[in-house]
Amino acid sequence: MRAALIGTDGSFSVGTFAEPQPEPGCSLVTVSVAGLGPTDLMRAKGFFGPVGAPYVPAGEGLGHLADGRRVYFGHSKPPYGALAERTLVPDDEIWAAPPTLSDDQVVALAISGTGALLPLQEARIVPGESVLILGATGPVGQIGAQVARLLGAGRVVAAARNRPALEAMKARGDADAIVVLGQGDDENALKGAAAGGYDVVLDVIYGSPAEAAMRATRPGARMMSIGVQAGQTVSLSLRELVSRSHIGVGTGQRPAAERRAAFDRLMAMACEGNLKVNTRCYAFDDAAEAWAAQAGSPHGKIVIRF
């Protein structure tokens, strides 16, 4: 079957791969759409451990079961992934896809959406609180800004490096104010938009921007960090942390039932017209181009169609 492959050196190529075979507790899925995300690149680079024998990348997708049901899936059984004509998926990782949502929106709102929803739920936003989305123009940040509003945020500030994408978020009403990072003094720029301090920070990028964001919070603030695109460490004094919480949130390894509950809530929000994320769609023949685009920090979810 046609498939994309990651070699033992982390290289990406398109070719053929052996068909998956049925196994107890798993089902074969014929793939319609595969979604790419930062985790796929990190895995190929060995961030989660040595790269094993060639494997099919892409951690999530949408397709059909043998009986014709349209389903979303994540966590395919290695060495299979979503970037192949067929994949093998544990049954508890196969979830019904709403018929009213397009393939690309289901995939765009799934892993990225749970990455935003779960930490914001755990932050326990009090109605009217001020929420900063750090790294706002990627899929997680775009969804996070919308979810924060639905969970009761009174003021949402979006911060990232891409000014046009930030201005588009503000024009859509997803953000009340924007901060363009990387223009000099991030700390003062974030404080200038804080209106007295942030109560909750959804931090998708970590590193020095997260340090600046924490210094712009007010007592009682909760920073929920879920990504490391801007750096894997921060340096904050105890004084800067007093009366504040900084929590590293993981979502991908949580029990399937917990992730499915978040997925179902996101799908309901989207079906009600309350959630939407930008996507960039590629044909499978252009999968190498899509892989390179993901490495370039895209400002929309990258999906690949078969």
Confidence at residue 91, expressed as pLDDT on a 0 to 100 scale: 98
Q: Are 197 and 243 in contact (CB under 8 A)?
A: no
Rounded Cα distance between 56 and 200, Å, is 37
Confidence at residue 60, expressed as pLDDT on a 0 to 100 scale: 96
HSE (side-chain half, CA atoms, 13 Å) at 233: 1
In degrees rounded to 5, what are phi and psi of residue 194? -80, -20
Rounded Cα distance between 221 and 166, Å, is 24
For the chain, what are the domain ranges?
Answer: 2-97+276-305, 115-248
Residue 11's CB is within 10 A of a number of other CB atoms, namely: 11
Rounded Cα distance between 90 and 113, Å, is 21
User: What contacts 172, CB < 8 A, 6 or more positions away?
Assistant: none
Q: Give pTM, 2 decimals.
A: 0.92
Q: How far is CA 107 from CA 102, 104, 171, 280, 283, in A?
A: 9, 5, 24, 12, 15
Q: Which CATH architecture has domain 115-248?
A: Alpha-Beta Complex (3.90)
What's domain 2-97+276-305's superfamily in CATH? Answer: Medium-chain alcohol dehydrogenases, catalytic domain (3.90.180.10)
Rounded Cα distance between 44 and 41, Å, is 5
> 2-97+276-305 and 115-248: same fold?
yes
Q: What is the mean pLDDT of each run of 10 residues along the chain (306 residues)?
A: 95 96 97 94 87 91 98 95 98 97 96 95 98 96 97 98 96 97 96 96 97 97 93 93 95 91 96 92 96 86 96
